[in-house]
């Protein structure tokens, strides 16, 4: 038995520089497949709503905004960033990004809408 066996380790580490970085000034790289804020590509969406069906938290809602035009309303407060919707979408209209700084003081700002560019002659048909 040896008391204080960790002492050497402690002393050695004491000479090293800290590994923590000064966030937000410095930022660490995120892993390759990090699942952050979603991105919606309206041109690709065909409105099949599979993403809506599979979302575990009902965070995503697809609305038709014109003929063959869809927008995605995503509640970032509800989303658990599982990216199931990305997997479910057969048209690859959804993708995840590495955007993580999503905190908001106003809960309303967490509800984001990725709109299709509404052509001037078409109107919103549903919400």
Partner 1 sequence: MHNPSEEFKIPIGPQHPALKEPESFSVALRGEKILGVDIRLGYNHRGIEKACEERTYIQDMYLIERVCGICSHSHSTCFIQAVEEIAGLAVPRRALYIRTLVAELERIHSHLLWLGVAGHEIGFDTLLMYTWRDREIVMDILAELTGNRVNYGINTIGGVRRDISSIQIQETLKAMDLLEERTKYYIELGLEETTIIKRLSGVGVLSYEDSLHFDAVGPTARASGVKRDVRKDDPYASYGEISFDVITDTGADVYARTIVRLKELMESYKIVRQCLKNLPDGPITVRAPRKIPAGEALSRYEAPRGEDVHYVKSNGTDKPERVKVRAPTLANVQAVKHMLKDRFLADMPIVIAAIDPCFSCTDRLVSLKDDDKKADVMTWQALHDYSIKWHSQRGVDFGKLNKKLQERLSK
Which listed range, 17-25, 82-90, 102-110, 112-120, lies at the site for ligand SF4 (CB under 6 A)?
A: 82-90
Q: For tokens 């658990």, name the residue.
A: 80
Residue 31 near partner 1 by CB under 8 A:
yes
Other Cβ atoms less than 10 A from the Cβ of 7: the count is 10
Residue 75 near partner 1 by CB under 8 A:
no
Residue 84 near ligand SF4 by CB under 6 A:
yes
**CA-to-CA distance for 84 and 34, rounded, in angstroms?**
13
Q: For tokens 């040896």, name the residue.
A: 2
Nearer to ligand SF4, 65 or 94 (CB): 94
Residue 84 near partner 1 by CB under 8 A:
yes
Is the distance from CB of 62 to CB of 71 less than 8 angstroms?
Answer: yes
What residues form DSSP beta bridges with 90? none
What distances in angstroms separate CA 124 from CA 43, 70, 72, 94, one per listed residue? 17, 10, 13, 22
Which listed range, 31-39, 70-78, 102-110, 117-125, lies at the site for partner 1 (CB under 8 A)?
A: 31-39
Q: Which of 36, 50, 64, 73: binder of ligand SF4 (CB under 6 A)?
A: 50
Binding site for ligand SF4 (CB under 6 A): 38, 45-51, 55-57, 59-60, 62, 74, 79-85, 88-89, 91, 93-94
């Amino acid at each position: 038995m040896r008391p204080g066996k960790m002492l050497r380790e402690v002393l050695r580490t004491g000479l090293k520089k800290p590994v923590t970085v000064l966030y937000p000034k410095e930022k660490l790289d995120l892993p390759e497949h990090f699942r952050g804020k979603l991105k919606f590509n309206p041109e690709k969406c065909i409105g099949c709503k599979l993403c809506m069906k599979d979302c575990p938290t009902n965070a995503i809602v697809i609305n038709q905004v014109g003929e063959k035009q869809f927008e995605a309303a995503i509640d970032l407060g509800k989303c658990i960033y599982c990216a199931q919707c990305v997997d479910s979408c057969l048209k690859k209209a959804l993708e995840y990004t590495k955007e993580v700084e999503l905190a908001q003081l106003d809960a309303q700002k967490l509800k984001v809408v990725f709109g299709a560019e509404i052509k001037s002659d078409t109107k919103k048909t549903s919400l």
